[in-house]
Amino acid sequence: MGVPNPPGFVGPTGKSALVALYRSISSYFVDQEVEAKVLFGLKERDLWETSRVVVIDGIFDGNVTPKALDAGAFFAPTQKKSANNPRELVSWPRPVTLSIRGVDITNVDSEAHQTEAMEALIEATLQGIQNAVDPKSGTAVGQANLDWGRCQWLKPPVQQSFGMEFLLGMTLKCVFFDLAQGVAFPTAVIGKNLLDTKRSGRAAFVLNAGGGTATVTGLNLCNLSYIGQLLQLSGAATSANNGTFPIVDVLSSVAVEIDNFAAVSPDANNGAIAWKVLALT
């Protein structure tokens, strides 16, 4: 997505980027018929005799002795071009650990079989992260919002167990927001979510094309939930400006930046281009 913070699921409503990532991987496994469970929380790591991926908050090294898990640190906001309502409070490079256990139950005495099962599950997990779209919000939460960390192998602490456990470290890029100010909505809950009431129109402009992106203005009540969704444009004079393009940033309440390497500006039909925001499915 080209943005440093996962949009659409953080802020005063308490939606979690980590939970969205967990839901995304789980949904991907179901869609691709991956024979492994996707679980959330350190307590779920006790499942050893079947294939599973456990999403763990913080840096986990395999030591089950009660202790504090490193949760990273808060920093000044990094997303400078986002719409300023709501105001960004802090960015949070959030450490996350995936506990991956691939098991071949057809031959538990063969380390080669267990290694193949483990590597197949690691690959499926990476594919799930790369293609992660939260099935609840429709927001892309995949690899562009992650930095990879260290990995390690562990033997399961279970007598007569087989295979290995793979701990995959990563950093999930999150951000917290202040409450929205000065936006008129029917209810307070909708105001907090910054949900717009109009996601289409016929007065868009294509500007500032270059470097693989273009600015589209003339929109209505843009907000951070647009990032990662798709903008459909039609009626442009230049054919390359027509189509469906990922939204990579929100520049103001009426303008977004899209990913379109072939964009041309200005367009002869600026001010009369039809637009529609589409949620990813």
In the chain, the number of structural domains is: 2
CATH number at residue 129: 3.30.2000.10
Same domain? 162 vs 220: no
Q: Are residues 170 and 201 in the same domain?
A: no
**119 domain residue, yes or no:** yes
Q: What pLDDT is stored for residue 200 in this prediction?
A: 85
pLDDT of residue 1: 28
- At residue 206, the pLDDT reads 93
Q: Within the chain, how many helices (H) and strands (E) appear?
A: 3, 11
Do residue 162 and residue 218 come from a single domain? no
Whole-number Å distance between alpha carbons of 47 and 44: 6
Q: Residues 39, 116: one domain?
A: yes
Domain boundary among 145, 177, 209: 177
In a domain, 4, yes or no: no
Q: Does some domain include residue 191?
A: no
Residue-level pLDDT at 165: 94
Tell me what pLDDT residue 41 has: 95
Last residue of a domain, one of 125, 149, 177: 177
CA distances from 53 to 36, 132, 143, 161 (A): 7, 15, 17, 18
Q: Are residues 202 and 272 in the same domain?
A: yes
Q: Where residue 228 sits, what CATH number does that domain have?
A: 2.40.30.20
pLDDT for 177 equals: 73
2 located within any domain: no
Residue 175 pLDDT: 79
Query: Which has the closest alpha carbon to 243: 271, 210, 204?
Result: 204
Residues of the chain with pLDDT under 50: 1-14, 81-82, 182-197, 281
Q: In terms of domains, do 169 and 33 share one?
A: yes
Domain that holds residue 156: 17-177
268 falls within a domain: yes
Closest CA to 60 of 41, 38, 74: 41
- What tens digit of pLDDT does each residue of 231-254 get? 999 999 999 999 999 888 888 878
Q: In this structure, what DSSP letter does residue 133 have? A: B
Same domain, yes or no: 27 and 85: yes
